[in-house]
Structure 1
């Protein structure tokens, strides 16, 4: 079993849990609900990018996948001022990401949510009339390159796979799902 197969199998229940708890239909039914959802995503990504960036195995590879700037752009398009965005609450506590293996495990969750974001983007456009320029850049983050970006991430993950690190990758992915669930699905 490859590391990607193991991750899919061992994080499946956590993935289903967050998908059910997100209640996206309700959260993207109105502009206010959608803005509040983006605020929660911003709080997660801002904290996560800071923590993960310090131990990322390849800084350029990591930075191309950072989403905080896209979320800030969306929030500005939805009426928040720059100083309001900077002061938004950030996810705390965040799991420790002290090794490149831990960062890759956590990135599995973040990159996977980007795949789901393409589906969400279509719903946001249909329901709220927003596109990448008017408040939906985050969910359209990779545009047409979404499959290529996922494939590239999978290749990096598989190259890093080893008996010494795979358990850390999987454990951190499960923990990231838990933190993301608590942050996104619980009342602020």
Structure 2
């Protein structure tokens, strides 16, 4: 079983749990609910990116996948001022990311949510009339490159795979799902 297959299998329950708890229909039914959802994503990504950057196995690979600036741009488009955005609460405590393999496991969750973001972006555009320029840049983060970015990420995971690394990768992905669930589904 490849690391990608193992991740999909062993994190399925956590993925289903967060998907059910997110209540996206309610959260994207209004601009205010959508903005509040983006605030939660911003708090997660800002803390996660700061923590993960120091252990990322490939700095340029990691940098291309940062989402905090896209979220800040969306929040500004939805009326928040930049000085208010930088003071938004951040996700704490975060899961430990002590080694590059842990970052890769955590990135599996973050990159996977980017895939789901393409579907959410269509709903946001249909319901709220927002696009990448008017408040939906985060959910459209890779645009037409989404499949290529996922494929490249998968290749990096496969390259890093070994019996010892795979255990760390899977454990980190599971912890990331738990932290993301608690942060995104918590009422601020």
What is the TM-score with the length of structure 2 in the denominator? 1.00
- Find the counterpart in structure 2 of residue 43 from structure 1: 43
Q: Secondary structure at the match of 2:163?
A: coil
- Find the counterpart in structure 2 of residue 25 from structure 1: 25
- Find the counterpart in structure 1 of residue 129 from structure 2: 129
Structure 1 runs of 4+ with >6 Å offset: none
* 1:33-112 matches, cutoff 5 A: 33-112=33-112
Q: Secondary structure at the match of 1:95?
A: coil
Question: What RMSD in Å do the two structures reach over aligned CA positions?
Answer: 0.3
Q: Secondary structure at the match of 1:91?
A: coil
Provide the rounded CA distance (Å) in 1 between the counterparts of 2:174 and 2:97.
Answer: 13
Provide the rounded CA distance (Å) in 2 between the counterparts of 1:59 and 1:139.
Answer: 23
How far residue 62 of structure 1 moved from its aligned partner, in angstroms, is 0.2
How far residue 187 of structure 1 moved from its aligned partner, in angstroms, is 1.1
- Find the counterpart in structure 1 of residue 185 from structure 2: 185
User: After superposition, what is the alpha-carbon deviation per residue over 1:29-62, rounded to whole angstroms, capped at 9, x for unaligned?
Assistant: 0000000000000000000000000000000000
- Find the counterpart in structure 2 of residue 172 from structure 1: 172
How far residue 164 of structure 1 moved from its aligned partner, in angstroms, is 1.5
Gaps of 5+ in 1: none
What is the TM-score with the length of structure 1 in the denominator? 1.00
How far residue 10 of structure 1 moved from its aligned partner, in angstroms, is 0.1
How far residue 163 of structure 1 moved from its aligned partner, in angstroms, is 1.1
- Find the counterpart in structure 2 of residue 118 from structure 1: 118
Q: How many residues align?
A: 188
Gaps of 5+ in 2: none
User: After superposition, what is the alpha-carbon deviation per residue over 1:108-158, rounded to whole angstroms, capped at 9, x for unaligned?
Assistant: 000000000000000000000000000000000000000000000000000
User: Is structure 2 residue 178 aligned with structure 1 residue 142?
Assistant: no
Provide the rounded CA distance (Å) in 1 between the counterparts of 2:187 and 2:28.
Answer: 16
